[in-house]
Amino acid sequence: MEIKRIPAGVYAANCYIMCDESTKETAVIDPGGDGEDIIKAVKAIEGKVKYILLTHGHMDHTGAVGMLKEEFSVPVYIHKQDEQLIKNGAYMFGPLKFKGIEVEFDKNVKENDIFELGESEIKCIETPGHTPGGVCYLVNDSLFTGDTLFLRSIGRTDLEGGNFETIIESIKSKLMVLNDDIKVYPGHGPQSTIKYERENNPFF
């Protein structure tokens, strides 16, 4: 599996392009901005985009969704709770528009949903706390954590729908139980591993 990281938008949120090298099937995770750069990167690897997957609904992770959806004509997945916050225009959530038209989401993700990508499977893990509908995506030995878990840190919980006790419980019960060698690809900043975070993250 080829994984390319693009720090996108004004907050340099990590957008990940994940491509199965044998089939070229591709998933784009959290296209937060700079849509032209993301599209160019997908075409450079001859990726065949199959999904746009969102870890949560904050604007710095969704800003280029409309552009990519129009370019590749593929479904966009988000948890229903964050979709509702976007539709309600909650602070940092939306509304999400492209060319003046509200972007429609195609499907909602939930715990244990599986997405096939070439020879691999992407598993959805619900991890509320940063937002009510925050999720992570696990594929092989790679975990895409959005703004739930960072290198030596966790996501903020002071925005609408955030809850400190909930994010701590999510990480402890859903992520820290994973194998040591799982690579952590966060929504901002450099990557880590589950073992490193278990041993060095000051929140645990």
- Identify the band that residue 36 occupies on the pLDDT scale cut at 50, 70 and 90: very high
Token pair belonging to 155: 């996501």
Beta strands in the chain (DSSP E): 2-8, 13-19, 25-29, 48-53, 76-79, 97-98, 101-102, 107-109, 114-117, 120-126, 135-139, 142-146, 149-150, 153-154, 183-186, 192-193
Q: For residue 83, what are the domain limits? A: 2-200
Give the integer Cα–Cα distance in Å for 32 and 59: 7
pLDDT of residue 101: 87
Q: Is the pLDDT of residue 82 over 90?
A: yes
Q: What is the tens place of the pLDDT at every residue in 120-133?
A: 999 999 999 999 99
Smallest Cα–Cα separation from 35: which of 71, 64, 13, 74? 64
Tell me the chain's radius of gyration from C-alpha atoms. 16
pLDDT of residue 157: 98
Q: Specify the number of domains making up the chain.
A: 1
pLDDT of residue 97: 87
pLDDT of residue 99: 87
pLDDT of residue 94: 78
CATH number at residue 155: 3.60.15.10
Q: What is the tens place of the pLDDT at every residue in 125-168?
A: 999 999 999 999 999 999 999 999 999 999 999 999 999 999 99
